[in-house]
Amino acid sequence: MEYMANGFCTEVASLVGSRTEVSLSDHELWTRIVRYGEEARRWRQKFLGLLPEVARRELWRAHGFESVFVFAFKVGGVSKEQVERVLGIEERLRDKPVLHELLVCGEVSVNKLARVVNVATIDNQEALADQVRLLSQSAVETLVRDMKYYTKLVDGEPAADQSANTSMSLSFVRAHGLARLSIGGGSFTLTPQATQKLQELHDKGIDVSEFILTAVTRREQEIQEAKEAMTTETEQKRIAKLPSRHIPIKIKKLIKQEFGTKCAITNCNKLSREIHHTARFSLAKSHDPNLLAPLCKQHHQIAHSIDVKYQECRRL
């Protein structure tokens, strides 16, 4: 142990010690410290993944520790709460070998697996494993929330049997119209000017509800007509010359007119950050507005996580 400590100190000294021996630029220092941080995180995941087996064999006792908690703290700096969490997750994943392997080998963080353990089933474990490998922790949280939401939409079927719905995979970015704005049970506030105008219409005996419905219907028709015109133009460009990967400004404006500033996925209130091609651009070579949807950062990650080609690229 003393030898390891001396070796570590020697390396640190080589990084930040005498400038006459080693002189690192800001970029070199930052690159190295980030790499060490990533390696530390990776080895910590592996350490946590092996703790359940250490506890099962009681190896901590054979090496003179009072408990697995004392062992984990002294050797890995892991708190009792973290150990209990890992042991609990491992127990719940024993009947789901694909996800269990991710924990044991330390390929995926405990935090991510803790998010999916409540929705994981034997049927959807492989799909979940692919997604937790690729997605950030915040995207995993969004995925789980969506899985629970869509499961509730299915009447008379227990959540555990929703293998088709729980993967959130083949429907939400492909289903035409799924990304329509929905206020659900939410609420919004009208400006005083809008309230006054509607009140004036009501006082004149005009059905305000019918007026609003007519206005909304007209808006949808105008957007659809604009889409059809752009689709024809886009198709002509595709035939004549492959279009640029960058989405034209007028199409972006139309998408914003249709969806506003929020993520297009139902039940998501986050701001949209990316315009997603529901038909992969590398194949379709088209910016057809019918195949575009503005998504938040997390849903954009999820949309790509179901793309087999994207998964292969990320693994490479």
- Give tens-digit pLDDT for 183-227: 344 567 778 888 888 888 889 899 988 998 999 999 999 988 888
Same-domain check for residues 159 and 197? no
**Over residues 90-111, mean pLDDT:** 95
In a domain, 29, yes or no: no
Same-domain check for residues 158 and 205? no
Give the up-direction half-sphere exposure of residue 187: CA atoms within 13 A in the CB hemisphere.
1
Domain count, the chain: 2
Residue 243 pLDDT exceeds 80: no
Specify the residue for token string 């969506």. Answer: 146
In a domain, 149, yes or no: yes
Same-domain check for residues 214 and 158? no
| Lowest mean pLDDT segment, chosen from 97-111, 130-144, 164-178 | 164-178
Cβ atoms of 173 and 293 closer than 8 Å: yes
- DSSP symbols for 133-153: HHS-HHHHHHHHHHHHHHHHT
Mean pLDDT of the chain: 80
Give percent above pLDDT 90 in the chain.
Answer: 45
Please give the residue that has the higher pLDDT: either 47 or 160: 47
Return the percent helix, strand and coil in the chain, to nearest 5.
65, 5, 35
Specify the residue for token string 């002294």. Answer: 74
82 band by pLDDT with thresholds 50, 70 and 90: very high
- Per-residue pLDDT tens for 244-285? 778 888 889 999 999 999 999 888 889 999 999 887 776 767
- Per-residue pLDDT tens for 219-228? 999 988 888 8
Same-domain check for residues 277 and 203? yes
Same-domain check for residues 208 and 306? yes
Closest CA to 260 of 221, 229, 219: 219
> What is the domain range of residue 229?
192-315
| Lowest mean pLDDT segment, chosen from 20-24, 33-37, 299-303 | 20-24
Same-domain check for residues 154 and 208? no
Tokens encoding 90: 């491992």
In a domain, 196, yes or no: yes
110 band by pLDDT with thresholds 50, 70 and 90: very high
Same-domain check for residues 151 and 262? no
Same-domain check for residues 92 and 202? no
Interatomic CA distance for residues 151 and 224, integer angstroms: 31
- DSSP symbols for 180-192: ----TT------H
Q: What is the pTM of this model?
A: 0.67
CA dihedral sign of residues 34, 36, 41, 46: positive
Give percent above pLDDT 70 in the chain.
Answer: 74
Cβ atoms of 258 and 296 closer than 8 Å: no
Please give the residue that has the higher pLDDT: either 295 or 152: 295
Residue 162 pLDDT exceeds 60: no
In a domain, 102, yes or no: yes
| Lowest mean pLDDT segment, chosen from 79-88, 91-100, 115-124, 222-231 | 222-231
In a domain, 97, yes or no: yes
Specify the residue for token string 């400004």. Answer: 249
Same-domain check for residues 275 and 221? yes
Give the up-direction half-sphere exposure of residue 25: CA atoms within 13 A in the CB hemisphere.
3
